[in-house]
Structure 1
Amino acid sequence: MAHSFIARADGRLMCRLEAEERSVLAQVAGEITDLIRVDLGIGDQGLDDRDPREAMSEDPLARLEAETVRARTEAPRDSATKRLFPSASDNDEDAGEYRRLTQANLAETHIANLSALRASLEAAGDIGGEGPHDEIVIERADALAWLKALNLIRLVLADRMGIENDGDFEALQLLCSNDLEEVEAEPGVAGMEFLATLYEFASWLQATLIGALNSRS
């Protein structure tokens, strides 16, 4: 069972998560990272339609520049990715210009925050290994990355469940608890009840981290 974040005497922040809880959070963070890379055409999974000379370049700066150009112009297609990279305008030309100027940096920030979350989870022990209540200790300076990564997870889960506001989630909780709706997930796709549980867990963890940040050690 997870223990909420607390502020330690040395100023750092600590929580305890079981191996399975760490594993699920790390997996979801990795899947969202992959979703961003694939949908925006950046990174190792988005190179197929690039110029072969760019794909084979041994110059890391050349590869980075090519990936950045794509990230600036590629509009999100997945509904979840659109929540992570919202359009700045209803005008296609203005929205495209905004993407060109900001989207690459935002993608880099999202991926960095998700990577920081995964690194902290993996540092607590072998992902999927045994040993409940493993301590996760983070510096206060790293708390913002955790908060942002957890928010990304919540946004993607909300999209997958069709949630637009808190009222929608409360209604979904009622349906799940009363077994009024049975959702048959496709093979490899998480069921609605699991997504709701994970959404609630990520929200709780985020809230406890905010509380620990605001408390005095």
Structure 2
Amino acid sequence: MLPELHPGNAGALLFDWDGTLVDTQRANYLAMAGALAEEGVRLDQEWFDARTGLSSVEMVRLLAREGGLRLRRSVEEIVADRDERFLRTAHEIRVHPEIEAVVSSFHGRLPMAVASGGARKVIETTLHHLPIRHRFGTLVTRDDVERGKPAPDIFLRAARLLGIPPQRCTVYEDSDEGIAAAHAADMEVIDVRPFTRRPGGSIA
């Protein structure tokens, strides 16, 4: 395990999903771009990459608002289309080895949770294909709370389910929204981006 990723004296570890535990950036972009193409909307990858901390629902709503778009389908229908496209490739998703090393090091030593702005069905289906699937005490998703990141709700619910005070939790994140959510929850946070992305900013 990289020393920069050591959680210190944390009482629990909370892991974001997309981009933190797993390398889903390209698959997520292609799924969302495909769903939006059905609406005649071209999704710019740079715009998408800058907003990966948002849930799919929040991302579509923001895109429509910023672009003044009139969508043929509801936001929920577009996101369901996105999710189905993603699930076709779920078996191809891989864990970031740098973060898997943290999970392996503290499995059985500290309570751990996945705390993500993604959809429960998508995460559970993808997790089923991965070797880390049995290592987490709980899973909290955007489906479980009223507000997604950058609100702290997801992280606070995960801490509550693990029975650990927020101030004793360390969060692993890869987005500005997620880091803001961890700070709002009064939790320590480790930005994994320097360790999971290749030089030049491309996704590992």
TM-score by length of 2: 0.29
TM-score by length of 1: 0.28
